[in-house]
Structure 1
Amino acid sequence: METLMRARTILTKASLLVLAASVAGGTMSSAQAADLAPAQVYARPPVVEPFNPLMIRLRVLGVLPDSEGSSVNVGAIPPLSSPNSGLSISDRVVPELDITYFFTPNISAELILAVTRHHISGTGTLSGLDIGKTSLLPPTLTLQYHFTGFGPFKPYIGAGINYTAFLSQSAARTPIAGLVVTDLHVNNTVSPAIQFGFDYMVDRHWGLNFDVKKLWLRPDYSATVNGTIPVTGRANIDPWLISGGVTYKF
């Protein structure tokens, strides 16, 4: 048995010497020698992109009020009240920033930030009456579901809540047909919101966005005409918010 073990050791050493001599003499390539020698194969782990939950968008926002159905109650002059009269609220285009936070690749929350200024005028028997101006600060928070499986095209839907603060309110104080609005106040209000839109990602970070929201924004208001006549009602602003711009995913 001992003789057999010594023979095996001598044979192994001889094989290694022959292998080394063959490589040195050029009769066997290094690759062929490597094939004969024992080798260990190390699998490279797959590259996994880190999940970053934050996304921002810079967009151009069009605010398109739908004021049909607004009410006007002129207590001292019933013929000037609804349904004979109503309100018209101007459209507006402004820059807008939104911040989106992803809880999962499919579920996120979005907050939009913008300020718009609108002109209010009368319709019907109050047609031509300049009522005044007000600025809207309408932060809107929505919970979104993002559809996956469409490659760079990433559509989503959402629903949430809006709180609108009316700032810098001013009466027109412009006389028309013997009437002049001398005071104006629009109440802050909460309203529901729905949305749909999509991102088209050019690469991992940058993309293009299109978004549509609908708000049911119906604040109460009060005004004074000619310094003494009280006017009250509800302004059905109900705007469509249509926007497009640039997406950046961190």
Structure 2
Amino acid sequence: MKRHNLLFAACCAAAISMATPAYAGDNEGKIQLKAFATGVLPDGAITDVKTDLIGLPAGSQTRATDSYVPTIAAEYFLSSNFSIETICCITPHDVRGTGALARARLIENAIILPATVTAKYHFNLSEGVKPYLGAGPTHFFIFSEDVGADAAALGATDVNLSDELGFVLQAGLDLKLNDKGLGLSVDAKRYFVGTTATFRAGAATALQTKHDLDPWVISAGLAYRF
């Protein structure tokens, strides 16, 4: 859990470091903070089998479970139309079997920290209504994963999901509620990132598979700009 705490602190520090004063003469602040309720909806399908010493049955497939968590976003406006945003969250997931592995418990309690930075363009459609598009890099840190009961029954003693780099696309809408910086925000992100699952039996690699995570991340909540 020490790694978990360090990564969480680093992400929050990145958000705080963006909080600089507004430029003189601007009628809107340069900093926007958002508190969201967020759904993380990953895929988790197997895309390649690298090692298979246990003999997966034909039609074996997997999925990662959805997660619903609070998240925070911090955004710095370079101008009225351009901004840079980072997020702070961790999401727990399990991995279950589908197809020939239907309902099999394979991985439990995997925690993902999606270190993400996006560059965003904001459209001025009307007073107080600003839709936006964004894109940027992400790095998924995955930790705390445990062997599921059905994988353990097949002899797996340890499992690891690899950390990976990826890319994210973003779209959303900010709606101004008053002249004191309060607003509503809805946001949708599509991540393009995978992972490699390695199951070990003792010191030997018994199964190694590549997976698409590629989650949709849907958020809604309050924003405060200052």
TM-score (norm 1): 0.73
CA deviation after TM superposition for structure 1 residue 219, in Å: 1.1
Q: Which amino acid aligns with 1:53?
A: K
**Matched residue, 1:27:** none
- Give yes or no for contact 1:199–1:210 (8 Å, CA) kept in 2: yes
CA RMSD of aligned residues (A): 2.2
Query: CA 1:151/1:180 → structure 2, altered by over 3 Å: closer, same or farther?
Result: farther
**CA 1:123/1:105 → structure 2, altered by over 3 Å: closer, same or farther?**
same
Hey, what does 2:177 align to over in structure 1?
202
Structure 2 residue 53 is the aligned partner of structure 1 residue 76: yes
The Cα shift of 1:50 comes to: 4.5
Q: Distance in 1 between matches of 2:74 and 2:114?
A: 14
Task: Give CA-to-partner distance per residue, 1:166-187, whole Å, 9 cap, x none.
Answer: 0212112x24795253211011
* Larger relative contact order (CA 8 Å, sep ≥ 6): 2
TM-superposed deviation, 1:158: 0.3
Structure with greater strand percent = 2
State how many pairs are aligned: 200
Asked if residue 245 in structure 1 is aligned to residue 208 in structure 2, the reply is no
Partner of 1:120: 95
Question: Which one of 148, 167, 170 corresponds to residue 124 of structure 2?
Answer: 148
1:85 corresponds to 2:53: no
Aligned to 2:167, which of 166, 186, 192? 192
More helix by share: 1
Check the 8 A contact 1:179/1:225 in 2, yes or no.
Answer: no
What residue in structure 1 maps to residue 154 of structure 2? 179
Q: Do 1:131 and 1:181's aligned partners in 2 also have CA atoms closer than 8 Å?
A: no
Identity, % of aligned positions: 28
Q: Structure 2 length normalisation: TM-score?
A: 0.81
The question of 1:157 aligning with 2:98 is answered no
Counterparts of 1:222-241 in structure 2 under 5 Å? 222-224=198-200, 230-241=206-217
Return the match for 2:191 from 215, 233, 239.
Answer: 215
Structure 1's 98 and 135: CA in aligned 2 closer, same or farther, altered over 3 A?
same
| Deviant stretches of 4+, over 6 Å | none
